[in-house]
Amino acid sequence: MVSLLDPLKVNDLVLDNRIVLPPMQTQKATEDGKVTDELKEHYAKRSEGQGLIIIEHSYISPGGRLAKKQLGIHRDDLIPGLKELASTVHEKGTPAVVQINHAGKTANRENVDSIPVGPSPDENVRKLKTREVKELVTRFVKAGERAVKAGFDGVEIHGAHGFLLNQFYSPLTNKRIDEYGGIFEKRIKFPLEVVEEVRNKIGEKTLLYRLGSDDLDPEGTQIKHSKKFAKRLAEAGVDIIDVSGGICGSRPEKLEGEQGYFIPQASEIRKSVDIPVIGVGGIKSPEFANKVVENGSVDLVAVGRAQLADPEWAVKALRKLKN
Ligand SMILES: Cc1cc2nc3c(=O)[nH]c(=O)nc-3n(C[C@H](O)[C@H](O)[C@H](O)COP(=O)(O)O)c2cc1C
């Protein structure tokens, strides 16, 4: 039986155990997206005991910025700082990938240079032209290349929590009638193009996709759709699926309070793919994290807020489970 303590090999990448520090925005970058000492310190404190660290969402273009002090990956001059950040984690022997994101219509008007863009027009949101969607694929690819140049072990494409790629996937937010909207097949086209092109450019590096698996809305995406989508993502070159919420976000009120609140979704997705799956949601206890690996629900467990509260959570969890 596999446990939380067991290593996992994903192509050439070896994770020492099944604990994941999920991406969590710290707002510790500079106002132009650069890595700071404070940001490095935040990750240095949490680098031990993890199987994998996923660095917080970094914006791929100025129009996709969510917050003022958000980490950026949209320009080449950011690479030296990102390199230092990757080394900070690697020094502790822990693999690290960085999450790349475009906030789409959720971008804060104050933090982007023009009106936020999305798949469909909305209040204070401009609809992306077909040509612009293709340009954004290139932006994601460039961000992926920068992550590799900075020495990260790979990238996670953010396709959850109601940000741009999730907005294209969900029928709640995508009302387009061009090649990127309408039926399921068209709504997954933009995310799949991003995955395929990033895959082509990052070579053997590890590619993760954070999948907004469930909108928790009868009119939105549901797990039956996301099982099909996950299969397509794996075929397009994703190495690990990181399952979270869709338009409902990462911490939906109706699920909060329960340990492992997105584990059922992750477990369902795991049945439809042959690649490792990360599960998340309100996990606090090492025993719970271990249980969902041991019972085969998920391959990896992300523990977010508990690790923000206690930077030594992972080290303590390993110690506790070994005894
Ligand atoms: C402060 C904070 C910032 C977050 N930032 C991100 C982010 O940058 N990217 C992302 O995919 N999820 C983000 N999340 C969601 C977490 O990765 C995680 O899925 C969520 O907190 C649920 O896990 P937990 O209950 O273990 O914290 C954030 C969550 C918190 C609390």
- Residue-wise pLDDT for 167-183, tens only, equals 999 999 999 999 999 99
pLDDT at 35 over 90: yes
Name the residue with the closest Cα to ligand 1, atom 19. Answer: 250
Residue keyed to tokens 């989508």: 229
CA separation for the pair 313, 285 (Å, rounded): 9
- The predicted pLDDT at position 109 comes to 80
Domain assignments of the chain as residue spans, ordered by start? 8-322
Q: Of residues 156 and 109, which shows the higher confidence score?
A: 156
Residues paired with 192 in a beta bridge: none
Structure tokens at 286: 């090492």
Distance of CA 275 from the midpoint of ligand 1 (Å) = 22
Name the residue with the closest Cα to ligand 1, atom 21. Answer: 304
Distance of CA 184 from the midpoint of ligand 1 (Å) = 27
Kindly report, residue by residue over 182-197, the tens digit of the pLDDT: 999 999 999 999 999 9
Distance of CA 177 from the midpoint of ligand 1 (Å) = 32
Distance of CA 129 from the midpoint of ligand 1 (Å) = 30
pLDDT at 256 over 90: no
Q: What is the mean predicted confidence (pLDDT) over 208-226?
A: 98
pLDDT at 107 over 80: yes
- The predicted pLDDT at position 34 comes to 98
Name the residue with the closest Cα to ligand 1, atom 30. Answer: 24
Beta carbons of 230 and 184 less than 8 angstroms apart: no
CA separation for the pair 181, 203 (Å, rounded): 30
- The predicted pLDDT at position 112 comes to 80
Distance of CA 61 from the midpoint of ligand 1 (Å) = 21
Pocket probe for ligand 1: among 20, 52, 250, 280, the residue whose CB has the most ligand atoms within 8 Å is: 250
- The predicted pLDDT at position 257 comes to 86
DSSP for 117-142, written as a single string:
EESS-BTTBEEPPHHHHHHHHHHHHH
- At residue 110 the predicted structure's pLDDT band, cuts being 50, 70 and 90, is confident
- The predicted pLDDT at position 171 comes to 98
Q: What is the mean predicted confidence (pLDDT) over 15-26?
A: 98
- The predicted pLDDT at position 323 comes to 87
pLDDT at 113 over 80: no
- At residue 111 the predicted structure's pLDDT band, cuts being 50, 70 and 90, is confident
Percent of the chain with pLDDT over 90: 97
- At residue 289 the predicted structure's pLDDT band, cuts being 50, 70 and 90, is very high
SS3 233: helix
DSSP for 254-315, written as a single string:
TTTTSTTTTHHHHHHHHTT-SS-EEE-SS---HHHHHHHHHTTS-SEEE--HHHHH-TTHHH
Fold of 8-322: TIM Barrel (3.20.20)
Name the residue with the closest Cα to ligand 1, atom 6. Answer: 24
The residues lining ligand 1, judged by C-beta closer than 6 Å to any ligand atom, are 22-25, 56-57, 99, 158, 160-161, 210, 244, 250-251, 280-283, 303-306
- Number of residues that this document lists for the chain: 323
Structure tokens at 295: 């019972």
Per-residue DSSP letter, 78 = G
Percent of the chain with pLDDT over 70: 100
Name the residue with the closest Cα to ligand 1, atom 31. Answer: 305
Distance of CA 250 from the midpoint of ligand 1 (Å) = 6
- The predicted pLDDT at position 108 comes to 79
Nearest atom (ligand 1) to Cα of 283: 26
